[in-house]
Amino acid sequence: MVDELIPNLMTVGEIQKVLQNLLREGVSIRDLVIILETVADYARSTKDYDLLTEYVRQALGRSIVRQHGLHQGKAHVITLHPELERRIAGSVDRREGGTYISLEPEIIQKIISSLTEQVQRVTALGHQPVILAAPGVRAYFKRLTERVVPRLVVLSYNELDPNTEVEAVGMVSI
Protein backbone atom coordinates (compact mmCIF):
# COMPACT_ATOMS: atom_id res chain seq x y z
CA MET A 1 0.00 0.00 0.00
CA VAL A 2 2.82 2.39 0.87
CA ASP A 3 4.47 1.62 -2.48
CA GLU A 4 1.23 2.48 -4.26
CA LEU A 5 0.87 5.76 -2.40
CA ILE A 6 4.48 7.03 -2.26
CA PRO A 7 5.77 8.57 -4.55
CA ASN A 8 3.10 7.89 -7.21
CA LEU A 9 0.26 9.80 -5.54
CA MET A 10 1.77 11.76 -2.65
CA THR A 11 5.04 12.50 -0.94
CA VAL A 12 5.89 11.52 2.63
CA GLY A 13 5.60 15.21 3.58
CA GLU A 14 2.08 15.45 2.18
CA ILE A 15 0.96 12.37 4.10
CA GLN A 16 2.62 13.81 7.19
CA LYS A 17 0.40 16.93 6.90
CA VAL A 18 -2.73 14.77 6.96
CA LEU A 19 -1.40 12.88 10.00
CA GLN A 20 -0.58 16.18 11.73
CA ASN A 21 -4.13 17.41 11.10
CA LEU A 22 -5.50 14.27 12.75
CA LEU A 23 -3.15 14.48 15.73
CA ARG A 24 -3.88 18.19 16.23
CA GLU A 25 -7.50 17.24 16.92
CA GLY A 26 -6.64 14.27 19.12
CA VAL A 27 -7.53 11.60 16.56
CA SER A 28 -5.50 8.43 16.96
CA ILE A 29 -3.36 7.50 13.97
CA ARG A 30 -2.83 3.91 15.10
CA ASP A 31 -4.94 2.51 12.28
CA LEU A 32 -2.48 3.49 9.56
CA VAL A 33 -3.96 0.92 7.17
CA ILE A 34 -7.32 2.71 7.05
CA ILE A 35 -5.62 6.12 6.96
CA LEU A 36 -3.33 5.24 4.07
CA GLU A 37 -6.06 3.38 2.15
CA THR A 38 -8.35 6.39 2.43
CA VAL A 39 -5.64 8.83 1.39
CA ALA A 40 -4.77 6.58 -1.57
CA ASP A 41 -8.44 6.42 -2.60
CA TYR A 42 -8.86 10.20 -2.67
CA ALA A 43 -5.35 11.45 -3.52
CA ARG A 44 -6.06 10.99 -7.23
CA SER A 45 -8.83 13.59 -7.09
CA THR A 46 -7.46 16.11 -4.56
CA LYS A 47 -4.25 17.24 -2.91
CA ASP A 48 -6.10 19.44 -0.39
CA TYR A 49 -4.84 18.25 3.02
CA ASP A 50 -7.93 19.51 4.82
CA LEU A 51 -10.23 17.61 2.48
CA LEU A 52 -8.11 14.46 2.68
CA THR A 53 -8.19 14.76 6.48
CA GLU A 54 -12.00 14.93 6.38
CA TYR A 55 -12.15 11.78 4.24
CA VAL A 56 -9.88 10.00 6.71
CA ARG A 57 -12.03 11.20 9.62
CA GLN A 58 -15.08 9.71 7.90
CA ALA A 59 -13.28 6.41 7.52
CA LEU A 60 -12.25 6.51 11.19
CA GLY A 61 -15.66 7.78 12.29
CA ARG A 62 -16.53 4.81 14.46
CA SER A 63 -13.34 5.09 16.54
CA ILE A 64 -13.59 8.90 16.75
CA VAL A 65 -17.17 8.68 18.03
CA ARG A 66 -16.25 5.90 20.48
CA GLN A 67 -13.36 8.02 21.78
CA HIS A 68 -15.88 10.69 22.82
CA GLY A 69 -18.40 8.27 24.32
CA LEU A 70 -21.07 8.84 21.68
CA HIS A 71 -21.36 5.22 20.56
CA GLN A 72 -23.81 4.24 23.26
CA GLY A 73 -26.98 5.00 21.32
CA LYS A 74 -27.66 8.67 22.04
CA ALA A 75 -25.58 11.76 21.39
CA HIS A 76 -26.37 15.14 22.98
CA VAL A 77 -24.91 17.71 20.60
CA ILE A 78 -24.78 21.39 19.85
CA THR A 79 -25.55 22.11 16.21
CA LEU A 80 -24.69 25.06 14.00
CA HIS A 81 -27.45 27.26 12.63
CA PRO A 82 -27.82 26.68 8.86
CA GLU A 83 -27.09 30.36 8.15
CA LEU A 84 -23.86 30.12 10.16
CA GLU A 85 -22.82 27.02 8.21
CA ARG A 86 -23.52 28.88 4.92
CA ARG A 87 -21.50 31.88 6.13
CA ILE A 88 -18.52 29.76 7.10
CA ALA A 89 -18.64 27.72 3.88
CA GLY A 90 -18.82 30.93 1.84
CA SER A 91 -15.87 32.49 3.66
CA VAL A 92 -13.36 29.74 2.93
CA ASP A 93 -10.47 31.16 0.94
CA ARG A 94 -8.20 28.56 -0.67
CA ARG A 95 -4.78 29.84 -1.63
CA GLU A 96 -1.47 28.28 -2.50
CA GLY A 97 -0.20 28.86 1.03
CA GLY A 98 -3.21 27.19 2.66
CA THR A 99 -6.89 27.58 3.38
CA TYR A 100 -8.17 30.56 5.36
CA ILE A 101 -11.49 31.72 6.75
CA SER A 102 -12.27 35.33 5.93
CA LEU A 103 -15.05 36.46 8.26
CA GLU A 104 -15.51 39.93 9.69
CA PRO A 105 -14.27 40.31 13.29
CA GLU A 106 -17.78 41.21 14.48
CA ILE A 107 -19.16 37.95 13.07
CA ILE A 108 -16.35 35.93 14.66
CA GLN A 109 -17.08 37.59 18.01
CA LYS A 110 -20.80 36.73 17.72
CA ILE A 111 -19.91 33.11 16.91
CA ILE A 112 -17.54 32.87 19.89
CA SER A 113 -20.11 34.44 22.24
CA SER A 114 -22.86 32.10 21.09
CA LEU A 115 -20.54 29.09 21.30
CA THR A 116 -19.37 30.00 24.82
CA GLU A 117 -22.97 30.39 25.98
CA GLN A 118 -24.01 27.03 24.49
CA VAL A 119 -20.97 25.18 25.89
CA GLN A 120 -21.65 26.55 29.38
CA ARG A 121 -25.33 25.59 29.13
CA VAL A 122 -24.63 22.05 27.95
CA THR A 123 -21.92 21.55 30.57
CA ALA A 124 -24.39 22.67 33.26
CA LEU A 125 -26.79 19.98 32.00
CA GLY A 126 -24.07 17.40 32.65
CA HIS A 127 -23.18 16.65 29.02
CA GLN A 128 -19.82 16.86 27.28
CA PRO A 129 -20.00 19.73 24.77
CA VAL A 130 -19.90 18.24 21.26
CA ILE A 131 -20.49 20.32 18.16
CA LEU A 132 -22.10 18.62 15.17
CA ALA A 133 -21.49 20.33 11.82
CA ALA A 134 -21.76 19.70 8.11
CA PRO A 135 -18.71 17.85 6.72
CA GLY A 136 -17.62 20.81 4.58
CA VAL A 137 -17.72 23.18 7.55
CA ARG A 138 -16.45 21.02 10.42
CA ALA A 139 -12.71 21.66 10.05
CA TYR A 140 -13.14 25.41 9.54
CA PHE A 141 -15.42 25.79 12.56
CA LYS A 142 -12.88 23.86 14.63
CA ARG A 143 -10.07 26.15 13.45
CA LEU A 144 -12.17 29.23 14.12
CA THR A 145 -12.88 28.23 17.71
CA GLU A 146 -9.81 26.27 18.83
CA ARG A 147 -8.11 29.23 20.50
CA VAL A 148 -11.13 30.00 22.64
CA VAL A 149 -12.22 26.40 23.39
CA PRO A 150 -9.12 24.31 22.57
CA ARG A 151 -10.45 20.88 23.53
CA LEU A 152 -13.87 21.32 21.94
CA VAL A 153 -15.02 18.21 20.08
CA VAL A 154 -16.31 19.11 16.61
CA LEU A 155 -17.74 16.21 14.62
CA SER A 156 -19.34 16.02 11.20
CA TYR A 157 -22.58 14.23 10.43
CA ASN A 158 -20.59 11.73 8.33
CA GLU A 159 -18.59 10.57 11.35
CA LEU A 160 -21.64 9.46 13.34
CA ASP A 161 -22.97 5.92 13.18
CA PRO A 162 -26.35 5.94 11.39
CA ASN A 163 -27.88 4.14 14.39
CA THR A 164 -26.87 6.88 16.82
CA GLU A 165 -29.82 8.88 18.06
CA VAL A 166 -28.90 12.57 17.95
CA GLU A 167 -30.49 15.05 20.35
CA ALA A 168 -29.72 18.70 19.70
CA VAL A 169 -29.40 20.42 23.08
CA GLY A 170 -28.21 23.76 21.72
CA MET A 171 -27.42 25.75 18.60
CA VAL A 172 -24.62 28.16 17.78
CA SER A 173 -25.87 31.11 15.74
CA ILE A 174 -24.83 34.61 14.75
Residue-wise pLDDT tens digits, 78-117: 999 999 999 999 998 887 767 778 899 999 999 999 999 9
Confidence of residue 65 (pLDDT cuts 50, 70, 90): confident
Residues 85 and 154 in one domain: yes
The pTM assigned to this predicted structure is 0.86
Q: Which of 82, 61, 7, 5 is nearest to 37 (CA)?
A: 5
Domain-embedded: residue 64: no
Residues 88 and 142 in one domain: yes
7 and 40 Cβ atoms separated by less than 8 Å: no
Residues 164 and 121 in one domain: yes
Domain-embedded: residue 65: no
pLDDT for the residue numbered 34 = 94
CA distances (Å), origin 157, targets 123, 138, 148, 160: 21, 9, 23, 6
Domain-embedded: residue 141: yes
Residues 54 and 96 in one domain: no
pLDDT for the residue numbered 91 = 92
Residues 98 and 135 in one domain: yes
Cα angle: 48, vertex 29, 41; to 5 degrees: 45
Domain-embedded: residue 148: yes
Residues 123 and 84 in one domain: yes
Domain-embedded: residue 159: yes
DSSP 160: S
Domain containing 148: what range? Answer: 71-172
